[in-house]
Amino acid sequence: MQIGMIGLGRMGGNMAERLRRGGHEVVGYDRDPSVSDVGSLKDLVERLQAPRAVWVMVPAGAPTRATVEQLRDLLSEGDVVIDGGNSHYLDDQRHAADLGTRGIGFVDVGVSGGVWGLQNGYALMAGGEDEHVGRLMPVFDTLKPEGEDGFVHAGSVGAGHFAKMVHNGIEYGMMQAFAEGWELLEASDVVTNVPETFASWRHGTVIQSWLLDLLVRALKDDPDLAELKGYAEDSGEGRWTVQAAVDHAVPLPAITAALYARFASRQADSPAMKMVAALRNQFGGHAVASAEGQTGKGADSPGADVAPPPEADR
């Protein structure tokens, strides 16, 4: 099958390569001319035979919206656009409606597999009309892992990215659980071989998983993780997952806590904890640390100027 691929970065480039290895003709476009097959989106569209299929693999948000808008004006009735980035599902619905005015189909595909996808295949979650998804099945069959699993037509437009959003939220919670378990093991003076402890869980346990395999691999390279800083970004899908939970009144305590833990990781000196320290000092006389790292007197230390609490609070 012939397909256009827009965005040839780590994911898009590897996906294009996997498709070529599977016998498909891929015409790729990227802003980097050294990896691009054509010089512009217009050139890409002209190289493809109608009815065309164009896969967009660029960052979510403004870059994806701008690309879809350009394709709307370049493509023809009967063509189809696939958004394989991490777009918000509500954007998918807007894109489908916009392209639909020109008779252009739209399929959203949540893609998981990262840098290992070229070798192992990509898990694909598609949303869209049966007609459009069915037409693209040769591409999906090549991209997905071998075997029965790895692809789902999750539902109507937006369903693919909604499913991927929830997938990433679950991923947040799983990673946070592994991370907290690792920290507790490291803090213990009983367990002295933490990397091998995790490795022993890779088979025969209910937490065996690819994430656990990757954790063991990371500890093998850096047993104490001394080369890393405890700072974690978020792609945005964790936030969307929590917001969707609010919209649907579905409690997500583990995923929400994992997202907030990432926020906390970016604070070298937590503003909220400053206030907690100040309050503990005020009501309990607990010692506080200064900005210079020195420990100061508690509020009830000799000489401290402490206002007595109200009578009702005594």
- The DSSP 8-state label assigned to residue 236 in this structure reads S
What whole-number distance in Å separates Cα of residue 200 and Cα of residue 196? 6
**Residue 197 near residue 282, CB atoms below 8 Å:** no
What is the DSSP pairing of strand 123-127 with strand 105-112?
antiparallel
In the residue annotation, 42 being an active-site residue is answered as: no
Tokens 């394989």 belong to which residue? 84
> What are the backbone angles phi and psi of residue 297, rounded to the nearest 5°?
-70, 150
Query: What is the token pair recorded at 122?
Result: 């990509």
CA 183 to chain centre: 23
Query: What is the token pair recorded at 265?
Result: 């990781």
Q: Which residues are within 8 A (CB) of 166 and not within 5 positions of it... i.e. 6 or more apart?
A: 241, 244
Of 68, 121, 77, which is closest to residue 102 (Cα–Cα)?
Answer: 77
Radius of gyration of the chain measured on its C-alpha atoms:
26
Cis previous bond, 51, omega within 30 = yes
Indicate which residue of 42, 144, 164, 220 is catalytic: 164
Amino acid letter, residue 39: G
Q: Active-site positions?
A: 164
